[in-house]
Amino acid sequence: MRYDEFPRRITYEIVKHYGTYRNAKDELNIEIKRKPYVLSASNERKRKPHKWNDEKIRSELKKAVTKYSTTSSTQLSKKGYRNLVDAVRRHYGTWNAGLVAFGYEVAYEYRSPDDNLSKEETKERVLNALASGIKPTRGALEKEIRGLKRSIEFNFEGINGLKEYCGFCAISDKPSEYKEPKTYRPKLSTAEGIKREIIRMWYIGAPMNYTYVKKKRCHLLEAVNKHIGSWKHAVESIGINYSEVTKQGSTNVLSECGTEFEEVFAELLTELNYKYIREGEGIDEVIPDFKLKPDFILPNWRWIDCKLSEWSDIRETIIRYHEEEPNGITIVYLRGRNHRIERGRKWKYEHISVYQFTKQLPKERQQYYESILRNIERRADEGAVAI
């Protein structure tokens, strides 16, 4: 007899005295003979094989991710999507490779120490490590990222393959080759260095009228007088119409505020332990014909530009920057809503208030920087009204 065919009072006693029905049979030396089950053509289950193709995987993956708001294979397996997870792994080698193929973010999960990182996982972890301040040397990165050494050999066949895939040419194979990013300092000892500094001032929109330069950049004017002759001649030598410079007048408040804001933001990044390059200084030594001059370049090749307001017109800047394929573009603004947001459809960028950075500081230092920034903001508002 089957266990479920006994009356309830009997099953109760079986469990009470023997624990399980099998234990009871063993104790009482009872052998139950079963008739062999023959599968005939009439009772054979008719079921079509379950075919998983790209279309079906895409459809089921979308349903699963939408329903449970996760791309974790472990979580989806527990929720009843084990067949889907197995199908993705059969078709794409790994779960994360399948996620990338269908346009989903990679989900990091626990893995065996013997598992290799995928190429996309390796790239993301390397760039994140560089952004956090890890030195761009193989030794420092392998110490920070578990399994990176295996991935370099398995996925990239060496450090050069990793550098090419990550788009970060400064990753070094030897710690001794690493050089700290250069702090920008104008070279005013030669005519060419002076012209380069004037070009930089024009590019960033700094005031260039004689009155301002004599008051705020007297060392530059002294160098001009020594190596070129006059401020007007220096400006015109780089192809700028001097009348355009004089139109700025001596009270170009918005330009002054923009320059001050950039300087304060540089100090803020330094205090937050960011490493950066100012105005693309030295990049042309690594990348020939590099002409763009973003305000800041981080070690992970992310570009940052400073703007006085959230509503500044940046469309042309974003399009021009995207042509050089940086690893992301960030626009930091002074005036506007205090938030952080991703913008753009085709030309994507991050739009972030400078006060999202100051809040990362200790309270005393936060108050110090915000006091300076509020003062610049107030003067910029007054300058905009005057215009």
- Domain locations in the chain as residue ranges: 1-43, 54-101, 119-177, 191-250, 255-386
Q: What is the DSSP string of 55-119?
A: HHHHHHHHHHHHHHS---HHHHHHTT-HHHHHHHHHHHSSHHHHHHHTTPPPPP----TTSPPPH
- Residue 3: per-residue pLDDT: 65
Which distant-in-sequence residues (6+ apart) come within 8 Å of 64 by Cβ? 76, 79, 81, 84
Instruction: Judge whether 76 and 70 are in contact, CB under 8 Å.
Output: yes
Across the beta sheet with 277-278, the strand order is 277-278, 296-297, 303-309, 329-335, 349-353, 340-343
The residue assigned the tokens 């006994």 is 6
What H or E segment, with its residue span, contains residue 331?
strand 329-335
**Nearest to 305, CA basis, from 285, 325, 340, 280:** 280
**Nearest to 194, CA basis, from 163, 166, 229:** 229
Which segments of the chain have a pLDDT < 70?
A: 1, 3-4, 8, 31-50, 105-115, 168-170, 172-184, 246-252, 282-290, 383-387
- Residue 385: per-residue pLDDT: 47
3-state class percentages of the chain: helix first, strand second, coil last, to nearest 5: 50, 5, 40
Phi-psi map region of 125: left, alpha, beta (phi>0 left; psi -120 to 50 alpha): alpha
- CB atoms near residue 79 (< 10 Å): 13
Q: What is the pTM of this model?
A: 0.39
CA 117 to chain CA mean position, Å: 18
**Rounded to an integer, what distance in angstroms lies between the CA atom of residue 95 and that of residue 86?**
8
**Rounded to an integer, what distance in angstroms lies between the CA atom of residue 337 and that of residue 240?**
36
Instruction: Judge whether 169 and 297 are in contact, CB under 8 Å.
Output: no
Instruction: Judge whether 332 and 350 are in contact, CB under 8 Å.
Output: no
- Residue 379: per-residue pLDDT: 84
- Residue 178: per-residue pLDDT: 43
DSSP letter for 324, please. T
**Nearest to 331, CA basis, from 301, 306, 360:** 306
- CB atoms near residue 81 (< 10 Å): 21
- Residue 111: per-residue pLDDT: 47
